[in-house]
Structure 1
Amino acid sequence: MKSKLAAIELLLLDVDGVLTDGNITYSDSGEQIKSFNSKDGLGMRLLMDAGIDIGIITGRKSKALEYRCENLGITLLFAGIKDKSKALDTIISRTGIAAKKIAFAGDDLIDLPVMKRVGFSFCVSNASYDVQNHCDIITNQKGGQGAVREICESILKAKGLWGIILNRYLS
């Protein structure tokens, strides 16, 4: 399992239930409000700084997500996607990265087609039971509460990069 994880060149993430806790809040004007975890953000930044790209495939569109991606420097954003497997085809074509070198993190049934096609699949600890039965690793943390940080760290550790990163902060 470690060798499959060490081969990852691209991490794809679902949003609602993975990058967020899954709650969808609307303002009086109908705008969606999402909360993102700062530890997840640092984990994604560390992963990207190590040369592993990050992309988003989500069924919903929101300005909050666009702002979050812009803030983190994530340019592979596929929002409002009903068929995530087709989005994966586009990503593979656009990046030239083979499916076996892509990891995906999801939490619900709509994520299963992508999870089955990529080289490594994660799901958050509060993912649907059926999704948990079809992923390589279930995080200890819940979606929106540090699960993505845990995923990023596991990839960096499998690649032998975590000690280097940690030492930068300890020196």
Structure 2
Amino acid sequence: MPALGPNASAAQRASRIRLMIFDVDGVLTDGSLYFSADGDAMKSFNSLDGHGVKMLQSIGVQTAIITGRKSRIVAARATELGVTHLCQGVENKTVALAELLEKTGISAAECGYMGDDWPDLAVMRRCGFAAAPANAHPEVIQRVHWVAEARGGHGAVREVCDAILCAQHRYDELLAVALGG
């Protein structure tokens, strides 16, 4: 069973999550950007990460994406996963967070954010729970409540989803269902 490690504060913070927000490049993807000759961008997403997002939704945690880039690929992935709130082409992520809080009526203390680089820092500081993939920038890693063992795009999102499920005492219940019990 995944854990939030020895940091009891991280587990306590994760237990309050009602809205989990993710960056895209470096979090839901490995951060690589592939461009076709026509200039179309391509991204690779991890299926384990996607299932983690769906499990959070299944227990009533809303999900959101806040990203600086704008991409039809991200919109398609968000739709496929049932992500309720998609904010693309965002220059100021704290403004997007404030809009999400107003729209949902959820407090910042009840929000989690997973990011990997400097543009994520200000919004992470405002959320009650901040997480990062293992390969996040060192300045981000120093300032979050929890760091995944996996790299962005390679299971880090699934790790944080599992950790939130554990903190909210729902992991074992969902595992039992998956086992057919």
The TM-score by the shorter chain falls in which range?
over 0.9
- Size of the aligned set, in residue pairs, is 171
Alignment of 1:149-168 (within 5 A): 149-168=158-177
| 1:110 counterpart residue number | 119
Query: What stretches of structure 2 of length at least 5 have no aligned partner?
Result: 1-8
| 2:3 counterpart residue number | none
| 1:46 counterpart residue number | 55
Aligned-partner Cα distance in 2 for 1:66–1:75? 11
The counterpart of 2:148, out of the listed 136, 139, 162, is 139
How far has the Cα of 1:75 moved from its partner? 2.5
How far has the Cα of 1:60 moved from its partner? 0.3
3-state SS in 1 of match to 2:28: coil
Read off the aligned partner of 1:57 and give its amino acid letter.
Answer: I
| 1:97 counterpart residue number | 106
Q: Percent identity among equivalent residues?
A: 40
Read off the aligned partner of 2:52 and give its amino acid letter.
Answer: G
Aligned-partner Cα distance in 2 for 1:25–1:164? 39
Q: Does 2:4 correspond to 1:11?
A: no
Aligned-partner Cα distance in 2 for 1:159–1:45? 15
| 2:133 counterpart residue number | 124
Aligned-partner Cα distance in 2 for 1:3–1:147? 20
The counterpart of 2:75, out of the listed 66, 70, 75, is 66
3-state SS in 2 of match to 1:18: helix
Over 6 Å off, 4+ runs? none
CA contact (8 A) 2:124 2:130 kept: yes
